[in-house]
Chains A and B, each alone.
Chain A
Amino acid sequence: MHKLLINNSGEKLLLLGNEAIARGAVEAGVAFATTYPGTPSSEIATNFFQISQESDLYFEYSVNEKVALELAAAAANCGLRSICVMKHVGLNVAADALLTLAYIGVKGGLVIVTADDPYMFSSQNEQDNRYYGKISGLPILEPSSVEEAKNMVIDAFELSEKLEEPVIFRTTTRLNHSTSVVNLKPFVSHTTRGDFKKDPFQYVPVPAVARNLHARLLERIEKAEKISETSPYNFIIGDGSLGIICNGVSYNYVYDAVQDLKLEGLAKILRIGFSNPMPRALIKNFLKGCEKVLVVEEGEAYMEEAIKAFAQEEGLTFSIKGKEENLFSRLYEFNPRLVRQCIAKYFNLNHTPVEIPDLSDIPEIPQRPPNLCPGCSHRATFYAVKKAAEGMTTICPTDIGCYTLGFLPPLSMGDFLLCMGSSIGTSCGFSKVTDKKVIAFIGDSTFFHSGIPGLVNAFFNQHNFTLIILDNGITAMTGHQPNPGVDMKALNLEGYQRVSIENIVKAIGISHVGVIRPFNIKKSINTIKEALDFKGVSVVISKELCALYAKSLKKPSRKPFFVSEKCKNHRECINNLGCPAFFIEDNRVKINQDMCVGCAVCAQICPENAIIPVKD
């Protein structure tokens, strides 16, 4: 049995934040779960996927976050407790649905989990999704710890049903990827079949209806504010005239700092866990007993701005600070030392931080940047495109996935990136206003997610570029989740169809479509050359399974290669491919047999044919 399905009260489990969130939903009787995978949220959905295999939970990997939210909105409006999980930028994709769903509301509880990524451990930006609460009018809950996250998910469902609105559950990477001990509670009973009662004047927001719905939303925001005022998630601890207001993981650093700096009796903490609407009266009361207030929040000055406005309404003029040049930054994530030092500085406390050893005599340590894996099909495709485009001046918009790493030398393929699917839309623009050859790269899952509309646009408006679709048969970057192009039978999963990328491209009307097996370098270069020479939109689909995924499917392995005596040290292999299986010993190129998966790409480009398979 899946460990999150243990229906035992009182048992303690060591859980990852993302597991705790999934467990909270299970305890709350969630019946319907959707997602598009994205770090740091991915493990929540992985657990739902596994749970759905052995329970009555419906779970799906939807094609993108907008579709995922639309499904969940329908299920929740049929009375089912539903959850929709995504990373922070995923909510941008789902925002169109979100902002009107706030007008429509829900019947069954709907929790939307958005995982922000301060410091951008694995994201293209560090946007602060608390502002989605403001723009949509929806309540936001933010946990500070793994244990709290589990319980807060349960309360989020209840809050959603009370307000008849979705609830945004906002986490940050440090919460998602922290682990601690969680107390299990029994499950709430739940329904898995719903019903929808027609009521177009509630559910179809044509202008006349929407005007009423917006007014109703404002009433619900007012109701939410009242709940926020007395929510147990907005609490005060300690006593004193020094005030600290904080949220999320910052609360942990503040709490520890207050102990370390021995501020008991001098400082009080207001932890905000229900952050939209902010609890106006509670904050005003907290401020009244203070001489000075520090706001500790990662990201934007979201709380600070509200708190300053409340202080102004009360005519309070003492210092309230947070984001300041000498205090906290809007950049990156916080840590205990930083928070301790800022508290000491702001409140003029004596504090000598632990000395960090002098590291000036440490030699430069070679970096360990992430790299495409040995035998990664993307490396072969990038190499073939580079060869095919030799002599051309190119612009290569890229997209989101493992292949983004192709922008690093020696491949250096990847010149521009905004968001999921942007390779195609930006290619339309680049090719229109420059005379350079535009070559776009997009992965299979990203193509399904949001690449297709760009390609339709490109064909309709007669743009001129070549699109390379890197189809490695799985959503690799986030940990091998399915997408509509995946062969689900290979995973022994029933109940799925398979969508052909080639058929989609051809159905749009694109006439020049090539398909390559990238480990066949010569053929691939020729096919790509023809596509590059075509005037208009041409597409090359490069098909080869992700090397890690192929290994997990236990596909028959190929023999590893080695560099034979014939090597004349041209180093074409190492200089052009940069495969991590290469190393240099005694000034000769060698191949690490344990890492080589036998893709044979290097063997094909060696001018001396010196790279050959290992004999049995």
Chain B
Amino acid sequence: MKTIRLIIVAVGGQGNLLASKILGEASLLAGVPVRMSEIHGMAQRGGVVESAILFGDAKSTIISEGESDVLLGFEPSETLRALNKCNSGTVVITNLSPIPPFTAAIGKGNYPDLAKLQNLIRAKVARLIAFDAFSLAKQAGDIMALNMVLLGSLLQTGILPLSADHVKEAIRTKTKKAYIETNIKAFDLGFSAAKALS
């Protein structure tokens, strides 16, 4: 089975680890071999959280520079920072709602201009899907469902060897009962958003 390499970058607290877990559980349901790794470390203290997920027969659990097939960014400046993980064939999906790093928030360093950021990414990879996932999460009923919106858009690309149904099944069985409905709604909104951009 051809290996598909996915990197997810986010800021601590955005729900990246749950998103990775859902993809892992969906792979288990679908019978797709999967291996993942994540850097926890000091994430709780506002740092960057990075997950690597490899679908297919590879034994490695990490993804080197230039070797991701898909980059999913939960925060635009972090997506830009992770461009070294991409190559000219990579598909990049990013949320466009920023969480400025503290250093930029206090006026030390400039947060990149969002229009310029998209042009820079678009010029270097195969395809960029960029939208405000935060608003869609709000629309779904909970800003914490941002991760589900982004999962929806990721599945729409059809790059992963998983179906949207497998992922929805994992959402139903592995997220908290009270949030299932919101999570599925968020997933569908993300799916439609990516479709509209294709």
Q: Which residue numbers of A lie inside 8 Å of B, CB to CB?
A: 12, 14, 39-40, 121-122, 144-146, 174, 177-181, 249, 251-253, 255-256, 335-338, 353-359, 361-373, 402, 405, 479, 548, 574, 578, 580, 582-584
Contact = CB atoms under 8 A, between A and B. Distances in A.
A38 to B, nearest CB: 12
B60 interface: yes
Contact of B88 (A256, A355, A364, A366): A355
B97 interface: no
Contact of B36 (A39, A179, A357): A179
Interface string B17-37: 000110011011000011111
A584 B110 contact: no
A256 B64 CA distance: 13
B80 A366 contact: no
B88 A357 contact: yes
A405 B41 CA distance: 13
Interface in B83-131: 83-84, 86-88, 100-112, 116, 120, 124-125
B111 to A, nearest CB: 6
B176 interface: no
Most buried by B among A40, A253, A336, A361: A336
B146 to A, nearest CB: 14
B66 A353 contact: yes
Contact of B39 (A121, A335, A354): A121
A79 to B, nearest CB: 36
B48 A368 contact: yes
A362 B80 CA distance: 8
14 contacts: A14-B24, A39-B40, A122-B41, A174-B62, A181-B27, A335-B60, A355-B87, A356-B66, A357-B88, A366-B100, A366-B110, A369-B47, A580-B46, A582-B106
Nearest to A340: B64
B88 to A, nearest CB: 7
B87 A357 contact: yes
B12 to A, nearest CB: 9
A370 B45 contact: yes
B77 interface: yes
5 cross-chain pairs, A with B, having the tightest CB-CB distances, nearest first: A337-B64, A366-B109, A583-B105, A370-B42, A356-B66
A338 B45 contact: no
A462 B39 CA distance: 45
Most buried by B among A40, A359, A402: A359
A48 B30 CA distance: 30
Given A337-B64, A359-B84, A548 B37 contact: no
Given A177-B40, A402-B45, A354 B109 contact: no
What range describes how many residues of B lie at the interface?
Answer: 35 or more
B109 A364 contact: yes
Nearest to B170: A14
A20 to B, nearest CB: 12
Most buried by A among B46, B63, B64: B64
Nearest to B110: A366
B142 interface: no
Contact of B21 (A14, A178, A355): A14
Given A14-B21, A356-B65, A405-B45, A178 B104 contact: no
A366 B40 contact: no
B44 interface: yes
B61 A178 contact: yes
A117 to B, nearest CB: 10
B159 interface: no
A584 B106 contact: yes
A14 B36 CA distance: 10
Nearest to A548: B44
Nearest to A181: B28
A174 B37 contact: yes
B103 A368 contact: yes
A588 to B, nearest CB: 11
B91 to A, nearest CB: 14
Contacts of A479: 44
Contact of A122 (B38, B42, B67, B86): B42
A356 B84 contact: yes
A548 B46 CA distance: 13
Interface in B179-194: none
A41 B80 CA distance: 31
Contacts of A256: 58-60
Most buried by A among B20, B59, B66, B86: B59
B46 A39 contact: no
Contact of A368 (B21, B35, B40, B101): B101
Given A368-B48, A580-B46, A180 B41 contact: no
A584 B105 contact: yes
Contacts of A145: 35, 59
Contacts of A367: 101, 103, 109
Contact of A252 (B59, B110, B112): B59
